[in-house]
Chain A
């Protein structure tokens, strides 16, 4: 029984660990050039060195700041636009088709234009991240509000709710599952956009770390940067799931054991 539990826990890790071992061995044995792929041990060593010099924290901080600020700005605008179009027919008529049109432009295609507008400094990167996170949140907020059960809205109105109290107690909680899906999509776009923006032009940040290392053929640092992006993406996703667990704890799909059918 206990052994079974342990093997269930371990099973998902077997393949990745095996791959890592094969990778390590093929580099050590010289089958794989370090110019193509450094050994995992070298990547860890590069990481340790960067931590020791403290350099990694400045890069992490600046990347995190760009991602966070862009996400907050884009998310807030997306949420606000979603509320406007979701709650008012006029808002929908005026705004929705325009927003949908802009949404269909891949935001990374705007990079040349953005560089012309803002140069290559912080504003350009934050602008791109904001643009990338705006649309998933907008779209899911809008659909979330539109899909709030009209029967519940009707019931709440007949019990005297209207205006802000109706929005706060019924429409917003009803739209929240959809909004949080938007947040998770947006977090994915956030890192993607930041990676591209930092790779193209930056003088600090994880993307800069990677591009700089490429110039000196430090493949270990390049791989380290990629791993760091992966970890940051995973952390952002965990945070979003945490929000779902707190805000959607009423939802049968997010309930832990107690009382609900699995």
Chain B
């Protein structure tokens, strides 16, 4: 039997309470009964004395020892009296049994009055009560009362216990046992005996049953919901996992939250490694244009709208960068730790073809220099970037002398060779950032980005002229020296737009041609177009 069971607890409580009641009440009633019994015994002694008082009075009155002796002998025959004495005046005229001195206890005395004169006290009748006997009787009486009471209390406690067991503990433990065997969802219900219909046990069972029903309903709903969520999750996971686009979730500072396999395929990163080190700034690792990527992420968070861009991916080992088209959208965000969803797909092929097309459109196919359109747009762009009063730069228009002659004499191949050679020399003589273009025929055009003053421009022009002094082998064994004429215009002194700059450079170049060729000239404002320079 379980020591913690309700029945044991109730039994122990009732037993303890009954024991306490028995102890306290026994104590109380024992004491009370003892005192009562003792008082009764004393009263009995007094009554005994009153019975013989008249005779004792007579004996004391006349001083009759025989009568007195009869009285005291009669008294000591009672078992509650162990000694008796009658005194007349100072003299003991009758005595039997023990004296007060022997038993060391108080006497019970009554005065004896004269039979014919109640005012005169003629003596005293005193007895020594049998105190041990009286006490013993009192104890016996009190004990039997206490024992009776204890027995009664025990009986009542036992009855209470049995009734509590039958009416409460047993039904409760039965109920608890059945409930213990029920698993919510198995459809079982509690049933109780019909006598409990309407009482607390019946109500408890009813409430538990309705609770079981509610729990079952909720469990079933939960199960269905979980099923729906699982199938949805499977579908979305499929989309996420199988997508050819890289999908990833990053925090504001660039740490990766999650990403799909396509992301790792595109970026060439180790999936396990990245997911383990979630604190790293993956955006900086992935994108070559990481600052642009980060600003897009910030933009998406601030504007709460998606932002897109073509970005380059770091790709160790491959010389050509891979391009991805990236869409950054703010994810469903919690306030303090916002995330951004990124989608990327590979646009490297497209980027390459675009670059190729642009290259074709802007290059002179013979010399590999920029063509006229490229030069025009470069000049326009430079002017747009350089405000009037800002940095100055120069343009050169170059025309070959004697090109028609070479072409006519040695054929187009020789002409082409001359053009290619001159182009190479020009390209070598200026900075990489300077634009060198072939405008068509034998005409070249150079934009000197940083040549801001006439001295610098003059030095470059002289270097170009000097380089042309080396002859070109136009045919096997045939060397020809090709001269050039250079016209120079400065921005913004000689024009603040492409047209006027080119026109003034052209004027300067024609001036050189007129004066004997193979030289350079800087345009001078207000100069007659036909005037010569240098």
Q: Do A and B bind each other?
A: no
